[in-house]
Structure 1
Amino acid sequence: MPLIVISGIPCSGKTFTAKQLQKYFTKTKNVEAIVVSDNDLIANDANRVYERYRYELYCMSKESGNTHCVIECAVPKDEAWTRNERNGQSYSRKIFDELIDRYEAPDSRNRWDSPLFVVTPEHQLNFADVFEALFNRKAPPANQSTQSQPLSETNFLYQLNEETKSIVNHILKAQEMGAVKDIAIPKTSLKLTAERVFTSVELNKYRRQFITYTKQHPTKDKQLIPTLFVQYLNGIIE
């Protein structure tokens, strides 16, 4: 059964979007949403704040040989809070802010977040495009013992993404604590040898460059990712 994962911060319109999709598929395409059968559709609109949840859902969908897509309901934080207040304040301000801080937005460059459709207050969802992505696209093959390479590659890309993201966050936190030079990095004996403070924009730019390079020249040992990333950063910074 095709899978739709709907992602977004609290009060961004996930449930509303899920209901719209259900209405479209059942009334326009005669496809029963939420009901489990080979030709039906499952729409998941839970608070998918963590990227790893979307990754796990992608793997399950792939394993079962079905198509999937991700829809992000993207609204500004202030507008989401206004909706929360208008709806009787489902979340306290503290919980609301914590959920937003933990939210990891989908990235269409990741296989588990693709195809990605973004819904904003100014840009409504094109249901026909979603239908096309789910029902007129070949499903990825189920992983069997003789077909393990696609999943292994996906696992590598996921770990590459997570490890480098963790290192960037670690560096930013260390800088906030006053560290500038020889910042120790988890999972590697190497240190960041920079002698100045870097912005989040700079570090994430270097991170994207490293990911692009590593996709083209993957390492056989995934445990080396932190070391290779720090080497890359030190080489660029020098």
Structure 2
Amino acid sequence: MALVTLAGYPASGKTTRAAQLEAGLPGLLPDHLSVCVVSDESLKISPSVYDDSRTEKPARAALFTAVQRLMSPTTVLIVDAPNYIKGFRYQLYCAAREMKLRVCTVYTVATPDSCRKWNALRTDNRAYETATLENLLVRFEEPSSMVRWDSPLFTVPWNEDLPTTAIVDAILSGSIKPPNSGTISVAKAPSDALHVLERITTATVAAIINAAAQTEGGGGVVTLPIATDVQIQISLPARHLTLSELQRLKRQFVTVHKKAVTLGTTERGAVDWTEESVAQKFVTYLGEHLKP
């Protein structure tokens, strides 16, 4: 349904805001929607992982995997984590787009001094080491409403109420971005596609040469026996067709479609590598390129 990403300085109140959303959203959402919070704490990720990049990266990967697993058309998923790197927020945004979920970002704003004070008051083993806290404060990349992965952006100072109603509007009626083209799975051609492509085009050329010989260059519509149970009609031009001309067009056709097979760029929604489909595509190609 939606992905709500919290961002802000460490110890700026993100967990408090996540709890407020988790408590307030169910009464404002349709009954079929549920609210779920995924956080470092729920995944038992210690604040100490941010002491070193070698431990931070796998922790962030674990968070991303959990987010992907919990995304659902019937779930409002709240991500309560540092999310201080814009590249990671973009990664979350792309995952949400792939699932066709609405997105929004809640930016909890507090001064660095306030964050230092609140971090020092923590007694639940969730406090950051002083050096780690200072490092995260420096590295924090502020969300911006000007970039699509942070929009719509709700900036919430620590001493102001959460705009729950506006967030609900974004969740229920915000635009759903189509999946990024780079993340769309492309249908793969079958393993024997290249063999079928070569065999059918060769058989088609041979059938055209035979048909042209029978019509003695008169042209017209003829039926080509391509393979077992495969017969295709083609309109031949009223002139003598040479084998070299047909072979040249065959090579062009095969080259284009061989690239599609090897690179996985076959046309979406119309991938059909049966003998009849390949023969029909080739005959259509010939009809467009054979000169009268």
The worse-fitting range, judged by mean Cα deviation, of 20-29 and 98-107 is: 20-29
| Displaced runs of 4 or more, over 4 A | none
Q: Paired residue for 1:5?
A: 5
Check if 1:32 corresponds to 2:34.
yes
The alpha-carbon distance between structure 1 residues 92 and 68, as it changes in their structure 2 partners (threshold 3 A), is same
Cα distance, 1:136 vs structure 2: 1.1
The alpha-carbon distance between structure 1 residues 36 and 65, as it changes in their structure 2 partners (threshold 3 A), is closer
Letter in 2 for 1:44: V
Bigger strand fraction: 2
Letter in 1 for 2:106: I
Q: Paired residue for 1:115?
A: 152
Q: Which has the larger radius of gyration?
A: 2
Consecutive unaligned residues of structure 1, counting only runs of 5 or more, are: 148-238
Consecutive unaligned residues of structure 2, counting only runs of 5 or more, are: 37-69, 185-292
Alignment map for 1:151-170 (pairs within 5 Å) = none
2:85 aligned residue (36, 50, 54): 50
Question: Is residue 84–residue 91 contact of structure 1 (8 Å, CA) maintained in 2?
Answer: yes
Cα distance, 1:60 vs structure 2: 1.1
Alignment map for 1:1-238 (pairs within 5 Å) = 1-29=1-29, 30=31, 31-34=33-36, 37-88=72-123, 90-143=127-180
Letter in 2 for 1:132: D
* TM-score normalized with structure 1 length: 0.57
Provide Cα deviations, 1:142-169, integer angstroms capped at 9, x if missing partner: 3458x9xxxxxxxxxxxxxxxxxxxxxx
User: How far apart are the structure 2 equivalents of 1:92 and 1:12?
Assistant: 15
Alignment: residue pair count: 147
Cα distance, 1:42 vs structure 2: 0.5
Q: Paired residue for 2:281?
A: none
Provide Cα deviations, 1:16-55, integer angstroms capped at 9, x if missing partner: 1111111111234243211654221100011111110001
Percent identity among equivalent residues? Answer: 28
Letter in 2 for 1:98: N
* TM-score normalized with structure 2 length: 0.47
The alpha-carbon distance between structure 1 residues 109 and 144, as it changes in their structure 2 partners (threshold 3 A), is closer
Q: Paired residue for 2:59?
A: none
Question: Is residue 74–residue 120 contact of structure 1 (8 Å, CA) maintained in 2?
Answer: yes
Question: Is residue 73–residue 101 contact of structure 2 (8 Å, CA) maintained in 1?
Answer: no
Question: Is residue 72–residue 99 contact of structure 2 (8 Å, CA) maintained in 1?
Answer: no
User: How far apart are the structure 2 equivalents of 1:137 and 1:113?
Assistant: 13
- Give the CA RMSD over aligned residues: 2.1
User: How far apart are the structure 2 equivalents of 1:33 and 1:66?
Assistant: 14
Provide Cα deviations, 1:158-208, integer angstroms capped at 9, x if missing partner: xxxxxxxxxxxxxxxxxxxxxxxxxxxxxxxxxxxxxxxxxxxxxxxxxxx
